[in-house]
Chain A
Amino acid sequence: MRRTVLSALALACTAVLASTVPAFADGTSPTPAPASVKPTAEPTEPTTGTEAPTTEPSVAPGDPTKAPAESEVSVVPSGAPDTGEVTTGSDSGGEGALIGTGAAAAFALGGAAVYVVRRRRATGA
């Protein structure tokens, strides 16, 4: 019973403190007159800091934008530019290297197999 009451009290205190912390964070620090002049019109005005960024950033380039009468690119080309000259022989060279490597590997495997067979026969005889 007593524990329950004390726990409830602690919870209530925590809730009160939690609600007051954001209030301290937002408002001006001491707030000497919360009861006397509470509903003044001033609290809505101090947000003057936000007016600067919202006024003119969309019209930023003052001089350059004054004459977009005609297209900035006077003649628009058609299609994609062909900026990649390839050599036709390079691919076949790669294939040749692949075939050579495969043949060498097969040859090495065959040699190893022959060696093992002969070794076994020699030890068995």
Chain B
Amino acid sequence: MTLPSRRAFVTAAMATLLVGCGGGGGGEAGGSDADRGGSASPSPGSAGEASRPAGKNVRALARSVPVGLRIPAIGVDTPVMRLGLAPDGSVEVPPVEADDRAGWYRHSPTPGQVGPSVILGHVTVGTYGEGVFRDLRRLRRGDRIEARLENGTAAEFTVSGVRTVAQARFPTEDVYGDVGRPELRLITCGGPRSGDGYRDSVIVFAELSSSSPGSS
């Protein structure tokens, strides 16, 4: 076999190998995509997109008032009080005191019911220092939130988004509007201080991912 022909065969062999590898790689990639799309409820440890489909398939819970809230990612474990409307039509907030806690807006669904259940908490409580929701803005997509209910069960939510918006342009529809499935909203203040308050609101959006009989 002469030199040119040897070169030609080597070239052909290399090209064939390259094409084969490319084809195999593409096949594997397609397979893994299919796996991702097909697994509707993957392991709860995987964050982000993996946990999102689970929220759509979880059944709504019966009405039961929340009594506690736990957010492991930011070290929150607080009792939950009930809040109504203030005389000016805004939502009430928990009292400013040393023993700060969160509050559930009682005209919203209870956690696990269909609709946006709304829970509020302070970021700071004046001279008492930091509030129970001081680190709310640090939450990330996929983090877990557990609401303990009066009937002994617990509704577990998965964070789907965190938004910081100017209070002057508070997204009322996004927070209180109908959603057709069990969701949760956690609200506190954030951003730079302006005058005697804060300029922004921090809103955490979460979806129901599971329910359990409760730890205690």
Contact = CB atoms under 8 A, between A and B. Distances in A.
A77 B88 CA distance: 9
Interface residues of B, number: 67
Nearest to A76: B176
B211 interface: no
B118 to A, nearest CB: 7
Contacts of B126: 85-87
A88 B196 CA distance: 7
B208 to A, nearest CB: 10
A77 B187 CA distance: 13
B23 A21 contact: yes
Most B CB contacts (10 A, CB to CB) among A76, A80, A83 go to: A83
B127 interface: yes
B89 A77 contact: yes
B178 A10 contact: no
A61 B56 contact: yes
Contact of A9 (B8, B57, B88): B8
Contact of A72 (B15, B94, B116): B116
**Does more than half of chain B's interface fall in helix, strand or loop, or is it mixed?**
mixed
Interface string B171-200: 010001111111000011110010011100
Contacts of A53: 37-38
Interface string B69-95: 000000000000000010011110110
A72 B114 contact: yes
Interface in A59-96: 60-61, 63-65, 68, 71-88, 91
B8 to A, nearest CB: 4
Interface stretch (A12-20, A36-44, A116-124): A12-20
A112 interface: no
A12 B37 CA distance: 39
Contact of B125 (A77, A85, A91): A85
Q: How large is the interface on A (under 10, 10 to 19, 20 to 34, 35 or more residues)?
A: 35 or more
Nearest to B125: A85
Contacts of B108: 72-73
Given A64-B60, A84-B190, 12 more contacts: A2-B2, A21-B23, A64-B114, A73-B108, A73-B178, A75-B107, A77-B85, A81-B120, A84-B124, A85-B124, A85-B126, A85-B131
Interface of B: 2, 4-5, 7-9, 11-12, 15-16, 19-20, 23-24, 26-27, 37-38, 56-57, 59-60, 85, 88-91, 93-94, 96, 105, 107-109, 114-116, 118, 120-127, 131, 133, 167, 170, 172, 176-182, 187-190, 193, 196-198, 201
Interface of A: 2-3, 6-7, 9-11, 13-14, 17-18, 21-22, 25, 53, 57, 60-61, 63-65, 68, 71-88, 91
